[in-house]
Amino acid sequence: MSKKSKNMNKNNNLVKIYGRHAALEALGNKHRNHKELIVTQNSYTDDIKDIVTKLHIRTSIKTSKELEAIAPEAVHQNIILVTSTIISSDLTRLDHCINQENSIIVVLDQVTDPQNIGAIIRSALAFNVSAILLPEHSSPDETPAMVKASSGAIEKIPVFKVKNLVNTLNQLKKHNFWVVGLDSNTRSTIDKINFDKKLVLVLGSEGKGLRRLTQENCDLLVKLPMSDKIESLNVSNAAAVAMYEIFKQRM
């Protein structure tokens, strides 16, 4: 799958990252190109100064009120990093994940809420997922809310956008991946399946679930074992439960 998209991320798209922890994690990511750090004097601590000096990042010292004007609805903790987006369409970085033994790739089929995606990225890092794939035309761009919800995990696990999800699933099958979709309407439960192969876990949108063509290109559909008191879980919660089940089997 060593294909370079003509639309690969050339760092033309920028995102604002709010908060000390998220900014520090992003500053340590070699795949980002940082444009500017906006910070108050009190928050411009020695550790941040050292990084900024080393990376030659432009820094603007502002007052708290000025930061509020820049990000009126954000919990910015007096620090904002303006940097390139990290979600990429350059699939050459996916090769490492494909060649890993017992690799797990999570695919989000039309999951559109940035906070849900961020939460899924955070869980994916916790449960040893190798990469996350999103369809190019039905997924949001990287947003401050997504970065914040990931709690730094977006800097440590590669996230890609692919042009054609079905073609990508079939390419992964050729690399000996087993494609398993999460679907509440099937009979098989995830706890009864042995996940000892390279695996693609596919999750659909919270309302519509997996698209028909996506379902048809899964090797197996499974659901979470749940009581009948509730019909379904939020997609980020469902993803965390599914990833934990797979992680538990492989411990």
- Average pLDDT for 51-77: 93
Q: Radius of gyration of the chain from Cα atoms?
A: 19
Question: Same structural domain for residues 193 and 117?
Answer: yes
Question: Same structural domain for residues 189 and 119?
Answer: yes
Question: Same structural domain for residues 106 and 190?
Answer: yes
Question: Same structural domain for residues 226 and 145?
Answer: yes
* CATH number assigned to the domain comprising residue 103: 3.40.1280.10
- Average pLDDT for 86-98: 88
- What domain range includes position 213? 91-250
Question: Same structural domain for residues 185 and 209?
Answer: yes
Q: Is the pLDDT of residue 199 over 50?
A: yes
pLDDT digits (tens, 9 = 90+) for 136-173: 988 999 999 999 999 999 999 999 999 999 999 999 99
Question: Same structural domain for residues 50 and 70?
Answer: yes
Q: How confident is the model at residue 4 (pLDDT cuts 50, 70, 90)?
A: very low
pLDDT digits (tens, 9 = 90+) for 127-136: 999 999 999 9
The 10 Å Cβ neighbour count of residue 98 is 20
* CATH number assigned to the domain comprising residue 56: 3.30.1330.30
- pTM exceeding 0.95: no
10-24, 38-52, 128-142, 195-209 — which is least confidently predicted? 10-24
Question: Same structural domain for residues 129 and 229?
Answer: yes
Q: Is the pLDDT of residue 11 over 60?
A: no
Domain count, the chain: 2
Q: What is the pLDDT of residue 135?
A: 95
Q: What is the pLDDT of residue 129?
A: 97
Q: Which two tokens stand for residue 170?
A: 């079939």
pLDDT, mean over the chain: 91
In a domain, 3, yes or no: no
Q: Is the pLDDT of residue 16 over 60?
A: yes
**Last residue of one domain, picked from the residues 35, 60, 84:** 84
Q: What is the pLDDT of residue 206?
A: 77
pLDDT digits (tens, 9 = 90+) for 94-136: 998 898 888 999 999 999 999 999 999 999 999 999 999 999 9
Q: What is the pLDDT of residue 10?
A: 42
In a domain, 9, yes or no: no
Q: What is the pLDDT of residue 73?
A: 81
Q: Is the pLDDT of residue 29 over 50?
A: yes
Q: What is the pLDDT of residue 12?
A: 58
